[in-house]
A and B are shown apart, each in its own frame.
Chain A
Amino acid sequence: MPSSPRHDELAALAKAVQQGQAEALRTFLTTIVPHLLRIVRRVLGPEHPDLEDVTYEAAYATVEGLSRFRGEGTIKHFACRVAVLTAMNVRRHDSTAKRARQRELVDFDGLPSERPGPEQNLLAASLVPVVRDLVATLPQPLAEALTLHVILGYTVPEIVEACGAREETVRSRLRLAKQALRRRVLGNPVLREALGEER
């Protein structure tokens, strides 16, 4: 794909931030942090207790990483990718901690009923939690491609631009992620019923 030079609205501001201008840093953060918050929320879910902390970490990592930005894609894509990776790491950490907790002894009296309520049924019938779980368990390159495509709505050329990978590589990662998603859905009876069996 031929890459034509594009206007990056945040480039001049990012340059000023790197030069140490305090006002530019504040403006840059005011512009970029709401986007980061939205991305972090999409990856972690709206109920996650560390939403604010993860947003702060993503914003800090973006500002610190500006000196390493090599101009592949736009600053906004760069910041979004930093947010995706930060949130993905948190989700993976949560997932590992959850598995460790499950291995510990549990108090059976304190366990909730196994029969799901209507809200749980509705949630289970949605693909959102399945994708979020996949993001926590798939290998990182696949999880990143899946997140950028499904959660953030990036096209393949946009993922190529953000990750710096080849187009065939991105398509291959998406294909593998799709297969993993299909396996997950087939393993979930509620979801399988809601979406209809494979034809």
Chain B
Amino acid sequence: MRDGIEDLSVHARRGELGESGQRVLSLALRASWEALLLHEAGCAFDALDSILPGDDAIAQRAIHRVLATRQRARRWRPRYARVALATLAWAAAAAAAAPLLLGSEVTRPTDPSEMTPRERFTRSLATRKRAAQAATPVVSPVASVPSETAPSAPSDRLTSNRRMAAAVREYASSVQAFAEANRLRRLGRISEAISGYQSLQRNFPGTDEA
């Protein structure tokens, strides 16, 4: 399939375009001023510094805040559940004790001959409603959630991850291991970086970096 001008522009920005591709792009940009504007805008954004000094500190603070918020939420959840349960138990006990406390005035007559016409009407209405509900078939909503299976990682990737884990064990300090994992992440070697972070947590537990 032939790429559109937008895709050619992105490939050029990433430096993935060959000579013929460059030629096609330059012809297309000469033909369309709008496309040229979009391409120039993209190049302007690419030229901006994407990594600045102090980024690691900002990222670390954001991570600490997310972890703290999640921890707080987790700590409050059982407390709320306990309060809700206690309220429910209290309400149930109050409802059960109400007839005993207020005497027989709150109990409803069960014999239709003892009921007032209004009570008889309300009771027959409720009986009919229950019968109608029982006759209606209940449709259970079935959520069709596609099951996700993580594709298996290639063997060479696994080997490099193991090598990374072994390398982290050899580092003298958590700072070195953390810096190495960060370097790999910046290079785009995400799975190796993840492996590095995990080994860091195993080998240097309790340090700031872990």
Residues of A within 8 A of B (CB): 1, 5-13, 15, 23, 25-27, 29-31, 33-34, 36-38, 41-42, 46, 51-52, 55-56, 59-60, 63, 70-71, 76, 126-128, 130-131, 149-151, 153-157, 171, 174, 178-179, 181-182, 185, 195, 198-199
In-complex Cβ contact of B44 among A29, A126, A178, A185 (8 A): A126
3 residue pairs, one from A and one from B, having the closest CB atoms: A127-B41, A178-B34, A11-B150
In whole angstroms, what is the CA distance A38 to B45 when docked? 11
Is there contact, CB below 8 Å, between A52 and B61? yes
**Which B97-121 residues have C-beta < 8 A from chain A?**
none
B170 at the interface (CB under 8 A from A): no
Is there contact, CB below 8 Å, between B38 and A42? no
A31-B185, A34-B56, A155-B7 given. 9 additional CB < 8 A pairs?
A11-B150, A27-B197, A30-B59, A30-B63, A34-B55, A37-B58, A52-B58, A155-B11, A178-B34
In-complex Cβ contact of B67 among A29, A153, A171, A182 (8 A): A29
Residue with the greatest number of chain B CB neighbours at <10 A, chosen from A31, A150, A181: A150
- Kindly state the interface size class of chain B when it binds its partner: 35 or more
**Which B179-199 residues have C-beta < 8 A from chain A?**
181, 185-186, 190-191, 193-194, 197-198
B140 at the interface (CB under 8 A from A): no
Interface of A is mostly: helix
Is there contact, CB below 8 Å, between A7 and B6? no
**Known contacts A6-B151, A59-B63: A181-B38 contact under CB 8 Å:** yes
**Known contacts A9-B191, A131-B45: A150-B197 contact under CB 8 Å:** no
In whole angstroms, what is the CA distance A71 to B146 when docked? 9
In-complex Cβ contact of A156 among B6, B33, B34, B50 (8 A): B6
With both chains docked as a complex, state the minimum distance between the C-beta of A196 and any C-beta of chain B, in angstroms. 9
